[in-house]
Amino acid sequence: MNKSSAVKYPITARLLHWVMAVIILSMLFLGVSMIQSFAPWQNVALSLHKSFGTLVFILVGVRLINRLLFKPPALPSDLPHWQAFAGRATHVLLYTAMIAMPLSGWLMQSAAGLEVSVFGLFNLPLIAPENIKLYSLSRELHGLTAWLFFGLILLHIAAALYHKLIRRDDVLDSML
């Protein structure tokens, strides 16, 4: 058994991680279902998708600030360097996707000339002029980033399970 000397992440980091995991996975599946359907619920789904996307954008900012305030638990000392590098790279890419997804969605809506209403409480300002080419580009970027995000999440889950079930170290436990 490869025990690390890791302590748990602070409660704020764990709470943000799991709340965002639920929201992001829900958003990704909702996004895929919206492009596959013209059902009557689509307008409500799109409105919720935009609102929760804005929430994710805000929460990733809070999460980054929180991340600057603490040192994460150390990885096991016997972890191969390439695995430690892959873990760090995956986290950077996950954070990049958490920023790119809402930004590309906001850009897409702006390029369509549409404001983003956030739970009916306020509207985000347009961040780009109305432009069909920009709309098309940002829509493609939003979709491609979503598929990349799915892949990164699967890799992240696989790594967590690897640490728990194969290596039997405390890496997953530090976030539970």
pLDDT, tens digit, 9 for 90 and up, residues 97-124: 999 999 999 999 999 999 999 999 999 9
Q: What are phi and psi of 124, to 5 degrees?
A: -75, 145
Residue 1 reports pLDDT greater than 70:
no
The answer to whether 136 and 163 are in contact (CB under 8 A) is no
Q: What are phi and psi of 116, to 5 degrees?
A: -95, 115
pLDDT, tens digit, 9 for 90 and up, residues 139-158: 999 999 999 999 999 999 99
Quick check: is 1 in a domain? no
Where in the sequence is the domain holding 116, given as residue range(s)? 11-175
Quick check: is 136 in a domain? yes
Quick check: is 45 in a domain? yes
pLDDT at 2: 43
The answer to whether 16 and 62 are in contact (CB under 8 A) is yes
Quick check: is 17 in a domain? yes
Quick check: is 88 in a domain? yes
pLDDT at 3: 46
Quick check: is 145 in a domain? yes
Quick check: is 4 in a domain? no
Q: What is the CATH number of the domain that holds 157?
A: 1.20.950.20
Quick check: is 5 in a domain? no
Helix axes 81-111, 11-35, angle to 10 degrees: 50
133 or 77, higher pLDDT: 133
pLDDT at 171: 86
The pTM score is 0.89
Number of domains in the chain: 1
